[in-house]
């Protein structure tokens, strides 16, 4: 009896399905479409993730993927381009001490490359807290004895001190020169390092010397060389967001906004300007083309 019930149940289910399908075939097209919408749930397509589009400025005024990205405005000092142009005019004669006696003029141009680079580094080490004329004189005396890594290591401290005197802190520089020269011979085969990080790790070598050594000895612009002249003038012209206390702080401020193409020029330009017009004490503001544009001049 149970099997008969099962057979009847299957029979009714099949009959119901056949009847239903038969009715569907007789529906009008519009009714069939309506019936389809009722009997079938709509297919849900995954939503496309919206992408954030970066604006590009195209040459024809339209946006395009190949255009240059819009630059985010950065801080820059007021009137700096006019101030720089005026300083170039005042420095056009190239007659400041740095122009004839700077580090790029103190080495022996006929010496092998490795020796030239060593002489550049040594002249920079001597130049700290020392006038260019005094540094050039010390370099001339050293070169007369054959200025190489080997010759310095063979020179006793007393003799080396007499040769470099009267550069600033000459006793300390004797010690640093000997230590650095020994490191160059042991670690760099008598050459100087080709990176700022390795240069500043040498005894007596600071960031300014390292960046100048990279530029003069290796021909690489690694950063702005900031000495006391550049530090003083940058603060007087307000070329930093706020007044800075050290040359290294000034360097970081300048590199944030000054176009990189000017990094190699700004040291020699401002050093000579500081030697001739923008003096540490009693600056010659009356002779300066930036008198009306310089905030410091208004306070004097």
Q: What is the pLDDT of residues 47-77, one digit of tens each?
A: 555 444 443 333 344 444 555 555 556 899 9
| pLDDT score recorded for residue 225 | 97
Q: State yes or no: pLDDT of 192 exceeds 70.
A: yes
Long-range contacts of 100-105 (CB under 8 A, 24+ apart): 101/132, 101/133, 101/135, 101/136, 102/132, 102/268, 102/271, 103/127, 103/212, 103/213, 103/216, 104/216, 105/136
Task: Tell me the whole-structure pTM to 2 decimals.
Answer: 0.75
Contact 215, 264 (CB under 8 A): yes
Instruction: Put residue 238 in one of left, alpha, beta given phi > 0 → left and psi -120 to 50 → alpha.
Output: left
pLDDT cut 90: percent of the chain above it: 74
The DSSP H or E segment spanning 61 is none
Q: Write out pLDDT tens, residues 87-120.
A: 999 999 999 999 999 999 999 999 999 999 999 9
Give the span between the Cα atoms of 168 and 66, in whole angstroms.
Answer: 56
Extract the runs of DSSP E, i.e. beta strands, from 99-169. none
The Cα-based distances of 130 to 157, 217, 270 in angstroms read 20, 21, 17
Catalytic residues: 208
Give the span between the Cα atoms of 269 and 194, in whole angstroms.
Answer: 25
Give the span between the Cα atoms of 199 and 205, in whole angstroms.
Answer: 7
């Amino acid at each position: 009896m149970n099997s008969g019930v099962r057979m009847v149940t299957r029979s009714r289910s099949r009959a119901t399905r056949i009847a239903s399908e038969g009715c569907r075939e007789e529906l009008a097209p519009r009714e069939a479409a309506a019936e389809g919408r009722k009997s079938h749930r709509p297919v849900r397509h995954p939503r496309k993730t919206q992408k954030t589009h970066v604006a590009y400025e195209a040459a024809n005024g339209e946006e395009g993927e190949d255009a240059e990205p819009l630059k985010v405005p950065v801080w820059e000092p007021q009137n700096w381009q006019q101030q720089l142009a005026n300083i170039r005019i005042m420095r056009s004669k190239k007659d400041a001490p740095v122009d004839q006696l700077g580090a790029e003029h103190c080495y022996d141009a006929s010496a092998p490359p490795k020796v030239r680079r060593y002489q550049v580094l040594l002249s920079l080490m001597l130049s700290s807290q020392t006038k260019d004329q005094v540094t050039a004189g010390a370099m001339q005396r050293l070169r007369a004895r054959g200025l190489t890594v080997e010759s310095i290591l063979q020179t006793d401290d007393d003799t080396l001190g007499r040769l470099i005197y009267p550069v600033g802190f000459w006793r300390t520089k004797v010690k640093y020169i000997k230590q650095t020269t020994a490191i160059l011979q042991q670690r760099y085969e008598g050459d100087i390092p080709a990176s700022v990080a390795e240069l500043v790790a040498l005894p007596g070598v600071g960031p300014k010397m390292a960046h100048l050594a990279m530029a003069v000895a290796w021909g690489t612009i690694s950063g702005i060389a900031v000495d006391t002249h550049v530090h003083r003038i940058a603060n007087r012209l307000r070329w930093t967001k706020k007044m800075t206390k050290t040359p290294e702080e000034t360097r970081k401020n300048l590199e944030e906004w000054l176009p990189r193409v000017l990094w190699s020029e700004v040291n020699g330009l401002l050093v000579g300007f500081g030697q001739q017009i923008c003096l540490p004490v009693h600056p010659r503001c009356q002779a300066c083309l930036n008198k009306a544009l310089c905030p410091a001049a208004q306070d004097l």
